[in-house]
């Protein structure tokens, strides 16, 4: 049986631990959702905002206890898919690699360079091989709506930018920062990958609203990145992020038209049916429920 997406919006949001608490959701519930890919970062908080279902997950857990390299990105995406999310908005602090992308401004990320190491980057593997297209890793439709909502909330928004995903947890050296600029990266962060990859495998349109907190250390005349300054700008941006989500809820069309990303797995599976690992297929009861049957 093939499960198609609802014609109604259900927006998943991955961001800071205080984000959902600052938004008054109707019929709000906090729910612990388990995943066959391990423990997610924490429970989800779900409810209604201006008639639209929103489900929030704190990427780093309560109190920001989980470092970027230890986030269970697979479990996080899996539990959001289990909750029935149709589209996914990521809110992330980023450093700027471009003079014109000023701290306090927002960037709708549209490309990624992945420099992370050792993170589980796919739901698929031995016994069930799949290759999704990631040429355009974010959803233009969702990104456009999120960007417009952020502008309505008073933010200065850059309509595109290439995100360099670094491993961390340390910030860049000056040599690295100059190299990333030469590669064509515009902003830098530690969590965008493999999050965007996994969202595509889960057939979830993904948009990242990057909140510029600082200039990365490529500016020779300035001191390096200090976390105290990053946190100061993050707190200032939190209000704009919450207001952006309210504007997004108010601006969404009443009916969600299908997205091509809803069917990203249509031609991605390579493994012949008789060679597929039943245990791995079972783990994908949410991620690939459209292909392998309803999740229970």
pTM: 0.93
Q: How would residue 218 be classed by pLDDT, with cut points 50, 70 and 90?
A: confident
Q: Using 50, 70 and 90 to split pLDDT, how confident is the model at 137?
A: very high
Arithmetic mean of pLDDT over the chain: 92
Look at residue 18 and tell me whether its pLDDT is greater than 70. Answer: no
How many CA atoms does the CB half-sphere of 51 hold within 13 Å?
8
Between 145-149, 189-193, 235-239, the lowest mean confidence (pLDDT) is in 235-239
The 10s digit of each residue's pLDDT in 94-126 is 999 999 999 999 999 999 999 999 999 999 999
Q: Where are the beta strands (DSSP E) in 103-178?
A: 106-109, 111-114, 157-158, 162-165
Per-residue model confidence as pLDDT tens digits over 33-43: 999 999 999 99
pLDDT reading at 296 higher than 50: no
Q: What is the pLDDT of residue 220?
A: 74
Q: Which member of 78, 87, 110, 216 is catalytic? A: 216
3-state DSSP helix/strand/coil % of the chain, to nearest 5: 30, 20, 45
- In contact, 36 and 47? CB cutoff 8 Å: no
Residue among 9, 18, 91 nearest 54 (CA): 9
Residue 111: closest CA among 129, 97, 131: 97
Catalytic residue among 214, 243, 266, 277: 214
pLDDT above 60 (res 224): no
Mean pLDDT of 198-211: 97
> 197: phi > 0 → left, psi -120 to 50 → alpha, else beta; which?
alpha
- The larger pLDDT score, comparing residue 70 to residue 236, is at 70
Question: In this predicted structure, which of 16-25, 90-99, 227-236 has the lowest mean pLDDT?
Answer: 227-236
Whether 110 is catalytic is no
DSSP 8: S
- Domains delineated in the chain: 90-285 (3.40.50.1580)
pLDDT for the residue numbered 227: 62
Q: What is the pLDDT of residues 60-84, one digit of tens each?
A: 998 889 999 999 999 999 999 999 9
216 is annotated as an active-site residue: yes
């Amino acid at each position: 049986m093939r499960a198609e997406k609802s014609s109604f919006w259900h927006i998943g949001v991955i961001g800071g631990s205080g984000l959902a608490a600052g938004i008054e959701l109707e019929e709000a519930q906090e729910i612990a959702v388990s995943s066959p890919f391990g423990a997610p970062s924490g429970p989800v908080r779900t409810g209604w905002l201006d008639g639209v279902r929103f489900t929030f997950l704190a990427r780093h857990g309560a109190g920001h206890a989980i470092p970027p390299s230890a986030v269970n990105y697979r479990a996080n995406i899996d539990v959001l898919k289990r909750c029935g999310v149709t589209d996914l908005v990521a809110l992330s602090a980023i450093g700027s690699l471009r003079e014109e992308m000023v701290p306090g401004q927002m960037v709708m990320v549209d490309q990624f360079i992945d420099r992370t190491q050792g993170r589980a980057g796919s739901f698929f593997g031995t016994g069930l091989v799949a290759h999704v297209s990631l040429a355009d890793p974010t959803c233009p439709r969702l990104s456009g709506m999120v960007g417009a909502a952020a502008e309505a909330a008073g933010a200065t928004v850059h309509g595109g930018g290439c995100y360099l995903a670094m491993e961390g947890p340390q910030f860049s050296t000056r040599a690295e920062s100059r190299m990333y600029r030469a590669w064509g990266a515009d902003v830098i962060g530690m969590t965008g990958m493999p999050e965007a990859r996994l969202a595509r495998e889960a057939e979830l349109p993904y948009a990242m609203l990057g909140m510029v907190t600082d200039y990365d250390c490529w500016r020779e005349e300035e001191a390096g990145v200090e976390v105290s300054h990053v946190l100061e700008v993050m707190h200032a941006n939190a209000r704009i992020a919450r207001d952006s989500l309210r504007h997004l809820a108010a601006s969404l069309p009443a009916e969600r038209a299908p997205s091509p990303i809803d069917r990203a797995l249509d031609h991605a599976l390579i493994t012949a049916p008789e060679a597929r690992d039943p245990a791995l297929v079972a783990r994908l009861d949410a991620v690939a429920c459209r292909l392998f049957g309803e999740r229970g």
